[in-house]
Amino acid sequence: MNLLGVVPATREYFQSSLKSPLFGADTQAMKAQQFIEQATADALALHTRHREAYEDTFDYLARPGRTVIVIKKPWPIGRSGKVFEFSEPTDGYFRVGVEMDGKRVYIPAYALARWLGAPDCEKAELRHFYFLMKLNAGGFPEFPDDSEIFEN
């Protein structure tokens, strides 16, 4: 300080100010805020990625109100209908109730797909289960190439 009570603005003054506890607290607060913002952005990105993956797997499932197409014999291949029921009467066996031409029939999920070229509904259901189990366990499922997993 000089005789007038004015602090000279020198490099030494600023460097000593940087070492003060008050200035250090602001720096820490700023770092904490940046960390919180980055963590929030990362969590949002991860949530978005999970949501997109969930929607991708969900699109293949035979659920009431959705249209499915028959892809395997002895059922009428190429015929489509609306799902009115989806059930698992025994472990690992998925049965789909489909309304075709005004008739209600039950067809195994492996004989149906949501559209031509999509995986059969049984494989889609198993993939969806796998996705949910991995997600609930705190991980993110990494699927192999779709063509590998959905081959007959």
| Range of the structural domain that residue 22 is part of | 11-57
Over residues 92-144, the pLDDT tens digits come to 789 999 999 999 999 999 999 999 888 999 998 888 888 888 777 776 666 55
Query: Residue 25: inside a domain, yes or no?
Result: yes
- Total number of domains in the chain: 2
pTM: 0.61
Residue 36 pLDDT exceeds 90: no
pLDDT at 121: 92
Strands (E) located in the chain: 67-70, 80-90, 93-100, 103-108, 112-113
Please give the mean pLDDT across all residues of the chain.
76
Over residues 75-86, the pLDDT tens digits come to 899 999 999 999
CATH number of residue 79's parent domain:
2.30.30.30
Query: Residue 50: inside a domain, yes or no?
Result: yes
Angstrom distance (rounded) from CA 149 to CA 123: 8
HEC secondary structure over 94-135? EEEEEEECCEEEEEEHHHEECCCCCCEHHHHHHHHHHHHHHH
- If asked whether residues 69 and 134 sit together in one domain, one would say yes
Q: How confident is the model at residue 149 (pLDDT cuts 50, 70, 90)?
A: very low
- If asked whether residues 129 and 67 sit together in one domain, one would say yes
Query: Residue 31: inside a domain, yes or no?
Result: yes
- If asked whether residues 45 and 70 sit together in one domain, one would say no
- If asked whether residues 41 and 75 sit together in one domain, one would say no
**Burial (CB count within 10 angstroms: exposed 0-12, middle 13-18, buried 19+), residue 69:** middle
- If asked whether residues 51 and 109 sit together in one domain, one would say no
